[in-house]
Amino acid sequence: MFKKTKVAAVFAALALVVTTAPASSAANTDMEIFTWWASGGEAAGLAGMTTEFTRANPTLKFVNATVAGAAGVNAKGVLVSRMKAGNPPDTFQAHAGAELSSYVKAKQIEDLTSLYKSEGWDKSFPKDLIKTLTTGGKIYSVPVNIHRANVLWWNPAAAKKAGITKAPESLDAMLVDLEKFKKSGIDGMALAGNGDWAIAHLFDYVLLASMGPDKFNGLWTGKTLWNSKDVTTAIKYFSKILAYGNSSKSLDWPDAGKLVTTGKAGFFIMGDWASSQWQSEGLKLGTDYTWAPGPGTDGVYQWLSDSFTLPVGAPNRSAGIAWLKVCGSLAGQDAFNPKKGSIAARTDSNPALYDDYLKAAMKSWKVDRLVGSTVHGVNYGNAGMAAYDSAVGRFYTGGAKDSKGFVTALTAAAKANRNG
């Protein structure tokens, strides 16, 4: 694993492995899918949808070109190189939203608007989601799920030990509880510094909780300035939270999560894929761990979505389309999401198939204020995300002391996104 401050170098290094990436067969019986889902609930979810695909397409061979690590950074590096080399897979995973902008700009993925109409997705997907997916009147990906980013996780036994009886409802209340955890002898906040993105995920939440959704959204439209008082206030909250974290700055997110589930840390701000990871390890929701909306964001759903595309020049284009049809289908989404730890993008999914957390998420998705995740591709494209994550990572590893430099770096990230 590695930090995104080295993204450019990593991409160059990963380019060396392009020739080893699998390609669809000349006989066009293979369907190569490119993802970063390699373990835990991610792999289980993909297996569920793969089964549905194979059932519907028994003559096609499913080829899983998974590149694991760093929440997709490793995979994106290989993918960028493959696309530039004219060696695309038949479909690839990407976060829905601005993350797709560079592929659209380079004309590397096909317009799927007609598929939305023929499959009825224009009616089965929420209108607001379709609006987010639309660029220049065209839609370039099929969302398979909805994840929530602003989730607070904790261990009930550790909370009881610290004298905490309910979830905090604000950032100030959370700071009080972090101090209680500290006095009980455990770290207040589990921090995952490996790869920068998980720390940036935490900062993205703190921005939202501190500023509120309107000013938060203004950061990505230019209505809220990075050198504003609102951002300065959020950075102060972020610095205080970091001070209650574990000493190791190199943990991957599953390892940071284990600090919570084993009672060595109090709180963890992470997306709801954490729940499926813990369930894959045999832990029980409501017993070994529990959840609440991130303090200060109740009634706000910070979302992200995994989606799939149809690359221009896909070796087996018809197989890619067949996969996309399964991705958008009710059967495909209900086979995938209960295992992945996410809810379906469709509005007609069967709640009975989902656990208690996911049932609650389904209800919230329909009524909450929706805002996008910056770290997971909704608000920023690849260039902006890399710069944003790197800025947060440098602030964290530097001891959260250079607030002025942090603001400068965040402003530069916004510029990188515009130019990317």
Residue 10: pLDDT over 50: no
Question: 50 and 134 share a domain?
Answer: yes
Given pLDDT bands bounded at 50, 70 and 90, which one contains residue 70?
Answer: low
Question: 353 and 400 share a domain?
Answer: no
Mean residue pLDDT of the chain comes to 91
For residue 41, the domain's CATH number is: 3.40.190.10
- The reported pLDDT for the residue numbered 69 is 62
Q: Of 335, 351, 372, which residue sits at a domain end?
A: 372
Residues paired with residue 142 on neighbouring β-strands, in sequence order: 308
Residue 311: pLDDT over 90: yes
Q: Is the whole-model pTM more than 0.85? A: yes
Span 27-46, average pLDDT: 85
How many CA atoms lie within 13 Å of 253's alpha carbon, on the beta-carbon side?
Answer: 23
Residue 216: pLDDT over 90: yes
Neighbours of 313 (CB within 10 A): 11
Question: 111 and 160 share a domain?
Answer: no
Q: Is the dihedral of CA 100, 250, 164, 171 positive or negative?
A: negative
Closest CA relative to residue 417, chosen from 101, 139, 4, 109: 101
Residue 4: pLDDT over 50: no
Question: 247 and 310 share a domain?
Answer: no
Angstrom distance (rounded) from CA 61 to CA 23 = 12
Domain of residue 249: give its range. 148-302+376-419
Question: 186 and 286 share a domain?
Answer: yes
Angstrom distance (rounded) from CA 147 to CA 341 = 8
Span 28-38, average pLDDT: 88
Residue 383: pLDDT over 80: yes
Question: 257 and 231 share a domain?
Answer: yes
> Which tokens hold the place of 143?
């969302």
Residue 204: pLDDT over 60: yes
Question: 166 and 281 share a domain?
Answer: yes
Question: 265 and 407 share a domain?
Answer: yes
Closest CA relative to residue 190, chosen from 275, 292, 268, 270: 268
- The reported pLDDT for the residue numbered 71 is 58
| H-type alpha helices, 137-196 | 156-162, 171-183
Closest CA relative to residue 364, chosen from 301, 276, 297: 301
Q: Look-up: residue for tokens 């996008």? A: 372
For residue 330, the 8-state DSSP code is H
Residue 306: pLDDT over 50: yes
Span 164-190, average pLDDT: 98
Residue 239: pLDDT over 80: yes
For 270, residues 6+ apart whose C-beta sits below 8 A from its C-beta are 151, 153, 192, 198, 201, 253, 256, 257
Helices (H) and strands (E) in the chain, counts: 19, 14
Q: Of 356, 372, 388, which residue sits at a domain end?
A: 372
Closest CA relative to residue 50, chosen from 61, 38, 39, 36: 61
Report the number of distinct structural domains present in the chain.
2
Residue 375: pLDDT over 50: yes
Span 315-339, average pLDDT: 96
Question: 20 and 141 share a domain?
Answer: yes
* pLDDT tens digits along 74-110: 787 889 889 999 999 999 999 999 999 999 999 999 9
Residues paired with residue 290 on neighbouring β-strands, in sequence order: 154
- The reported pLDDT for the residue numbered 72 is 63
* pLDDT tens digits along 179-190: 999 999 999 999
Question: 32 and 179 share a domain?
Answer: no
- The reported pLDDT for the residue numbered 76 is 79
Question: 77 and 173 share a domain?
Answer: no
CB 21 within 8 A of CB 315: no
CB 36 within 8 A of CB 72: yes
CA distances in angstroms from 299 to 97, 362, 381, 418, listed in the order given: 22, 13, 26, 30
- The reported pLDDT for the residue numbered 7 is 39
Question: 51 and 127 share a domain?
Answer: yes
